Structure 1
Amino acid sequence: MKNAMLDAINGAHIANKIRMERSQHAGSFLVVEGVSDKRFFDWLIDKNKCKIVVAYGRDKALDAFHRLQVPSFDGVLFVIDADFDAIEGRKPPSISVIFTDTHDLETMLLASPAFEKVLLQVGSEEKVDKFRGQYGDLRACLLRCAKHLGYMLWLSRKDRLNLKFEELKFGKFVDEKTLLLDPAEMVKVVANHSQRPDLKNDVLLTRLAALYDDGHDPLHVCCGHHLTEILAFALRKAWGTNDAGAFDGPMVERMLVLAYDEGLFVTTQLYASIRAWESQHPPFIVLRALGTPA
């Protein structure tokens, strides 16, 4: 029922919601893709001057943006995932639409020292040191693993395959000791999980191989939700001993947000772009004066 309700929300619904709420809120609106994005920004916004609206999807957010242009509606900023647009050379359609620095907010978190902080808190020092000695940098291993899934997701978008990546069992194609991913098994598992018996695994592998490019930044290829699920898997197996029943991707994402310092945020292009939007759209404010209590 809950998923059906969310599916019913579209760009028109989001745009109308913002227009109706203007009578009670004279400040800015920050539109984000999902609940995890809202959780990230809740600590950073000026709550007296900005209200967060969740669009429940990138396409819905962009649709709402276009609907709010005619007639023009001031004071609305959209922060959405860069997704694969950086690789494909696409820019945001307006200064009022800001892309994340990397594929999404989760990849930004994982690229920061928040990753090491989480490892220190819930990883096994002995296991982490042993893994690092055998296989090298942990973040690089994580990105190397998730990159294959990122290309698979990109292929699904480009060829409109409608593959399903939610609730994947990563242990079926990721080695729990080495975090090495088997591309052939990944393709098989994703196709089966998506109930697409019509797709030929060898054809998918060939199409994937055509997308691979060492020049692509893995932080733009990898999907953050895939990374956090693989990180949770690693912290239950290769890097830790956490309980499988309670330790999953969403839990890791919450921990990363808690470990992320606002001092890191002010060094990002995302922060600079939000401040630039504020300077060009007075009197609307999104962020609080960072370094002060929320």
Structure 2
Amino acid sequence: MFEHMTADRTANAIMQDSTFKGTNLVVEGTKDYKFYSKFFNIENTVQIKQVGGKEKVREVIELLNARNFNEKIGIIDSDFSKILSDEVNTENVFLTDFHDIEVMMFGSPALETTLNIYTTNEKIEKFLDGRKLRGIILDLAKQIGFLKLANHIYKLGLAFKPRQPQGKPLKYKDFIDNRTLDFKGNEQLITTVHNYSINRSDKVIDAKIVEEKVKELVDDKYDLLHLVNGHDLSNILFFLLKKVLRSPNMSLYDIHSIEDSLIMSYEARFWIDTELFKKIYDWGLSNNQTLFKEDIEHLYNKLRLEV
């Protein structure tokens, strides 16, 4: 509903809802709703509004701030903000610990639980042959991360997803080997994305310039958990399970299967260990608002007493 409304109309709708007396949580999209509804008390004290994008979350919260409407917070993905020292300073807007919520989940034991849903430990260990799984996946995702960062900084006009949700996605098999999960090289990655961007972007910069801009960034040392994109991590995980390990699990249908499994596997004990949770918890205390489900509040307070 709110995805198709302007920020102004969304803010008006939130303020005019006299039937709800709790806190409005404004998030980017459906995936965020699925994730945060696990932990916030949406039965009683919190309403989650998915508004369709990071900038719109900021705009809605800024409008509500200006109108002195206090019962609201927003959560957005950090994206490249910490790498570029361009962190959001909008009051009552909170950022994910890392690039996005998928990266937060990837760094937790939810990854191992998700893998166990779709394959066996024996298959994983045989594939790894002593290597570290997170390291392999991060090393692949960082290659795409550098390209996305260059696109963000230099406005290269590249497209990494279809204009419409039902459109054809980027083909990861064109730059990742579907037998070994080996990276086919930056030239192949850039060629794939550049070709994909034609007719999906208003103006695409020449591939040679794209390659030069990526090279300018590759030598810099970035925190990979802020560089890599969760969408790429999920795609690589799907590629690994479906193509390389050939999972027979019929529920492994597409990337959404991976994202949903990670959300399902991400436990409260992982959530309360994040900086995002702690900042929002403190906001609730300061504003006399109970935001989280009772079992999560109980677990957090119990663990604090044990420290």
Q: Is TM > 0.5 for Structure 1 vs Structure 2?
A: yes
Equivalent position of 1:254 in the other structure: 260
RMSD (CA atoms): 2.3
Pick closer, same or farther for the CA change 1:246–1:10 going to 2, 3 Å: farther
Identity of aligned residues (%): 28
Q: Does 1:145 align with 2:157?
A: no
Equivalent position of 2:30 in the other structure: 35
Counterparts of 1:141-220 in structure 2 under 5 Å? 141-166=136-161, 167-181=169-183, 182-195=185-198, 198-213=204-219, 215-220=221-226
Is the Cα–Cα contact under 8 Å of residues 197 and 204 in structure 2 kept in the other structure? no
Equivalent position of 2:292 in the other structure: 287
Shift in Å, 1:34: 1.1
Counterparts of 1:1-294 in structure 2 under 5 Å? 6=3, 8-21=4-17, 23-47=18-42, 48-133=44-129, 136-166=131-161, 167-181=169-183, 182-195=185-198, 198-213=204-219, 215-242=221-248, 246-282=252-288, 284-291=289-296
Is the Cα–Cα contact under 8 Å of residues 235 and 241 in structure 1 kept in the other structure? yes
Per the normalisation by structure 2, the TM-score is 0.86
Q: Secondary structure at the match of 2:73?
A: strand
Counterpart of 1:175 in structure 2: which amino acid?
D
Is the Cα–Cα contact under 8 Å of residues 78 and 97 in structure 2 kept in the other structure? yes
Q: Secondary structure at the match of 2:147?
A: helix
Shift in Å, 1:14: 2.6
Q: Secondary structure at the match of 2:139?
A: helix
| Higher RCO (CA < 8 A, seq sep 6+) | 1
Shift in Å, 1:154: 1.9
Give CA-to-partner distance per residue, 1:47-72, whole Å, 9 cap, x none. Answer: 20100000211111111122222222
Q: Secondary structure at the match of 1:85?
A: coil
Q: 1: CA distance between counterparts of 2:120 and 2:126?
A: 10
Deviates more, 1:239-248 or 1:271-280: 239-248
Shift in Å, 1:95: 4.7
Unaligned runs of 5+ in 2: 162-168, 299-307
Counterpart of 2:231 in structure 1: which amino acid?
H
Is the Cα–Cα contact under 8 Å of residues 58 and 90 in structure 2 kept in the other structure? no
Is the Cα–Cα contact under 8 Å of residues 33 and 56 in structure 1 kept in the other structure? yes
Counterpart of 2:172 in structure 1: which amino acid?
F
Pick closer, same or farther for the CA change 1:165–1:19 going to 2, 3 Å: same
Is the Cα–Cα contact under 8 Å of residues 80 and 149 in structure 2 kept in the other structure? yes
Shift in Å, 1:214: 5.2
Q: Count the aligned residue pairs.
A: 286
Q: 1: CA distance between counterparts of 2:249 and 2:116?
A: 17
Unaligned runs of 5+ in 1: none
Q: 1: CA distance between counterparts of 2:157 and 2:57?
A: 20
Is the Cα–Cα contact under 8 Å of residues 124 and 239 in structure 1 kept in the other structure? no
Q: 2: CA distance between counterparts of 1:245 and 1:194?
A: 30
Per the normalisation by structure 1, the TM-score is 0.90
Counterpart of 1:236 in structure 2: which amino acid?
K
Counterpart of 1:44 in structure 2: which amino acid?
F
Q: 1: CA distance between counterparts of 2:15 and 2:297?
A: 31
Counterpart of 1:169 in structure 2: which amino acid?
K
Is the Cα–Cα contact under 8 Å of residues 122 and 240 in structure 1 kept in the other structure? no
